[in-house]
Amino acid sequence: AQSVTQLGSHVSVSEGALVLLRCNYSSSVPPYLFWYVQYPNQGLQLLLKYTTGATLVKGINGFEAEFKKSETSFHLTKPSAHMSDAAEYFCAVTYMGPGNKLTFGGGTRVLVKP
């Protein structure tokens, strides 16, 4: 079984400050990890993903995440927050193989203060 824990349901950052969203996963097999963003009244948009290879992955809108197997973590960061980053962010895990079910964390809502 696989699971995802996102620490902090709400995060408030100042414009220009570092954005750090925490994600820890549990998986009995090598995971594939994702970050999705959801803007109000919209579906989920893929920010970035880790499957194999380089553990530091870069995504859209200046976000990046690092896969740390020893810590079972996949934290999302952005050096400088922008007002447009205000949204809800979801970490998710799946694995290679048939019927690859995607399991989501509970989400972290980001508020950006001017």
Q: How many CA atoms lie within 13 A of 24 on its CB side?
A: 6
Judged by beta carbon, residue 9 or residue 80, the one nearer other proteins is 9
Q: Does 40 bind other proteins (CB under 8 A)?
A: no
Phi then psi for 41, rounded to 5 degrees?
60, 30
Site for other proteins in 52-81 (CB under 8 A): none
The Cα 53–Cα 99 span in angstroms is 23
Among 98, 110, 111, 113, binds other proteins (CB under 8 A): 98
Q: Does 22 bind other proteins (CB under 8 A)?
A: no
Among 47, 67, 105, 112, binds other proteins (CB under 8 A): 105
The Cα 106–Cα 8 span in angstroms is 9
Q: Does 101 bind other proteins (CB under 8 A)?
A: yes
